[in-house]
Every structure is written in C-alpha cells, then in structure tokens.
C-alpha cells in the first residue's frame, strides 16, 4: 500500500493574483476554477487529490481537495494544512454530527451528515435505524470512501452502509452512477420510518435519492396542525409527504399525486402501516396535467400542498424555474376552498426566498385568489446551514391561507 503523502510532500495549489482570500479565511468552503492558477501540474492532479491551498503570497489557507474537472475546483477539507484525513479524522466529524442529532431526535432517523455544514464537503449521509445511506457527491469522498465507511460504522454502530450514486452533483464531479453496498447487507424490503405520528416507507436501494426526504419534517409538522377535518391534496407527494402527517393528525381524507407508480405504492403502504388507509387515495400522473384535470372536475380541497423537485437546480434554469413555480401556484389555488390552506415548496437553491415567494404570490393572484402568508418554513435542524454558503439553505416552504 502506498503511504499517504505527508504535509511537506503534498501538492500545492495557489489562488490567482488579486483573488481576495478573505472569504475563504472566514469560512467560505469553495474555490472556483477561474480563481485558481491552473498550470499543467494542477491540471494533471487526479480528481480528489488533497493539496495545500495558498493565497497569491504563498501563505497557506488550508487543506483542500482538488478536482480539475469540476467548476468547484477546490473544496476546503480542513483549515489545518497538515491534517491527516484518515479513519480518526472522519470519526471526529461524524461523532460531532451524531451528538447534535442525538439531542434533536429520540429515534435514529435523520440526516446524519449535511455536507459542508457538517465538515464533510459534498457528503450526504441519511440514517434509517441500523442502515446508513451515503451519497459521496465529491471526488475526494469517493477516494476516501473506505475510511469514511469504517468510521461511520465505528461511531454509529449501524449494521449496513449503502452507497447511493444517483445524485446530480456526481455527474458534475465526473463520478459514476454505480450504487452498492459498502458494509453489511442491503435490506430486502422498504424500511418503516416513524415521523410526525405517521409511518413512511423508505426504499433505500431503489427509491429517489437516499430513499426518503427528512428535510421537510418540521414543515410536515406545521401543516399537520392545520389538518384536522380537512380534505387534503398532496401533489408531488413522493412516499406520502405531507399527506400522511396530515392524516395522522386528523385530516378527513387525502389524495396524493405523483408521477411514479413505485412512490405511490410506498405511500399506500405507509398509509396502511399508519392505520389511515381508509382515508387515503392515490392518483398517478403529471402534476400540471392532474391539477388542471382536478379543476375541470370541480374538485375542492381544504388543504393543498405542492412540493415539486427542483425546478431551478442551477442559475441557468432560474427564470424557467420561477415560471414553473408560478404556474403551479396558479393551478393549485383554485382547488382550495375559501378559508383553506395552500403549501408551496421549493428545493431550488438558485431560487432564493424572495424570488420564490414573489412567483408564488403572483400565481395565486393570477388565479383570482387573495392570500395570507402564515408561515415560512425551512429544512429541519438535521440539515444545518453553513452561513457562508447560500446553497446549504435550499429548502423553502410557504403556508398560505386563501
């Protein structure tokens, strides 16, 4: 086995002249390709190589991972340029992350590591009891995956670690899309996940992302407070989303809409496991078309929720994404009975809160409705934000009364 490079042997990369390093010194975690001197030596580094980052005066700024193939050419790994990234290094960060979640949640179902905000750039780890699902969305994490897995097992005691390689970011990093088992044995059936009084079914090997979205948990809880006696419509429901929480808190009925038959099957299983199957219906189809069809049918609901995938995953898609959010609001608002509630969500980090809110209110207005904004929600505390990195605060949930 080749020994790991010692600090003095590590490659060095340097910011271009006149690039201000203040942001990096104050916690910003990335260096973009146009900010780094990319000579032949730097371009020849293998993706995921650890290097010492220097400012233009050759003063060290920290230990970074380098990926010459990525727009984010450097990610800050450790402020100590001499840090050794080994099992102990991962264990320290994972223990710190686990200590926070253990204070927040009474059961081991949560996001254990939220990338840069937990000191693990590009790494997402969701925990489902004794199973952890890792998304190594940056090249350096792929290189150090064995050490990370060993530390994860040591710190948490999980029996199984799965790798999910389906993230969009992996493609931007030049990584493959091959998922697999890193430790233990993959579950042969969906895993039941208790949240907000309901049971959700998570497919950890064939579902979307890591199998379940923990980020909406507090928004599910807020919406559920308004749900007793309500007829609920949950569009882009995935495995039951808002609907199951609402039913668990006394909603009269729920219709969930999603384009995926597999997701709807899991939602139905969750409803049965939660004991609310008799108040639960599914409808497969395109969300926009289904909303229009429900309006033609004269359907009315006391509570409608639209929680779509990212319509604006990058700045290049921002304007089209905002138009899509406006259209969703315009189509959903007529379905809400007077005095009812409309929840509109965005997981697009490129669409900031103000622009998203403006698109939603414009859509509601164009539907001929008046609205009160009751609540603005964000991701739960198991998805902490890195204050210097706006992208870490991606989720927005607006609760309106119409």
Active site residues: 347
Asked if residue 180 lies in contact with residue 191, where contact means CB atoms within 8 angstroms, the answer is no
**Can you say whether the dihedral through the CA atoms of 365, 367, 368, 373 is positive or negative?**
negative
Number of helices followed by number of strands (H, E) in the chain: 12, 19
Asked if residue 388 lies in contact with residue 27, where contact means CB atoms within 8 angstroms, the answer is yes
Query: 328 burial class (0-12, 13-18, 19+ CB within 10 angstroms)?
Result: buried
| Backbone phi, psi, residue 156, to 5° | -100, -25
The one-character DSSP state at 319 is H
**Residue among 318, 400, 317 at smallest CA distance from 362:** 400
Query: 103 burial class (0-12, 13-18, 19+ CB within 10 angstroms)?
Result: exposed
3-state secondary structure of 200: strand
**Residues whose CB falls within 8 Å of the CB of residue 317, separated by 6 or more in sequence, listed in order:** 311, 350
Q: In the numeric block, which tokens belong to residue 93?
A: 């960060």
- Integer-rounded Cα Rg, in Å, for the chain is 23
Query: 138 burial class (0-12, 13-18, 19+ CB within 10 angstroms)?
Result: buried
């Amino acid at each position: 086995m080749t020994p790991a490079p010692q600090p003095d042997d590590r490659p060095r990369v340097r910011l271009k002249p006149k690039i201000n390093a203040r942001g990096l010194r104050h916690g910003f975690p990335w260096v973009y390709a146009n900010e780094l001197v990319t000579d032949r030596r730097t371009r020849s580094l293998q993706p995921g190589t650890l290097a010492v980052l220097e400012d233009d005066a050759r003063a060290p700024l920290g230990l970074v991972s380098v990926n010459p193939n990525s727009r984010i050419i450097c990610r800050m790994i450790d402020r100590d340029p001499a840090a050794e990234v080994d099992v102990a290094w991962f264990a320290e960060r994972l223990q710190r992350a686990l200590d926070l979640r253990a204070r927040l949640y009474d059961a081991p179902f949560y996001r254990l590591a939220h990338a840069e905000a937990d000191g693990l750039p590009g790494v997402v780890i969701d925990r489902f009891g004794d199973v952890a699902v890792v998304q190594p969305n940056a090249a350096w994490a792929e290189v150090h995956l064995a050490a990370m897995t060993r530390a994860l097992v040591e710190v948490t005691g999980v029996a199984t670690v799965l790798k999910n390689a389906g993230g969009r970011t992996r493609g931007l990093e030049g990584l493959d899309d091959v998922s697999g088992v890193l430790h233990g044995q993959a579950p042969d059936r969906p895993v039941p996940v208790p949240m907000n009084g309901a049971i959700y079914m998570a497919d950890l090997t064939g579902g979307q992302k890591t199998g379940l979205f923990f980020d909406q948990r507090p928004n599910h809880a807020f919406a559920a407070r308004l749900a007793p006696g309500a007829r609920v419509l949950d569009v882009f429901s995935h495995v039951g989303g808002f609907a199951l929480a609402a039913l668990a808190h006394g909603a009269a009925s729920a219709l969930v809409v999603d384009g995926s038959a597999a997701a709807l099957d899991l939602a139905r299983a969750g409803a049965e496991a939660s004991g609310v199957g008799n108040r639960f219906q599914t409808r497969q189809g395109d969300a926009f078309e289904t909303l229009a069809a429900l309006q033609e049918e004269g359907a009315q609901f006391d509570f409608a929720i639209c929680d779509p995938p990212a319509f604006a995953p990058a700045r290049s898609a921002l304007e089209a994404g905002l138009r899509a959010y406006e259209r969703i609001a315009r189509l959903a608002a007529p379905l809400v009975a007077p005095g009812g509630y409309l929840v509109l969500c965005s997981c697009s980090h490129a669409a900031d809160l103000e622009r998203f809110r403006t698109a939603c209110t414009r859509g509601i207005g164009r539907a001929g409705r008046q609205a009160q904004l009751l609540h603005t929600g964000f991701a739960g505390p198991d998805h902490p934000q890195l204050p210097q990195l706006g992208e870490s605060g991606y989720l927005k949930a607006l609760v309106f009364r119409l």
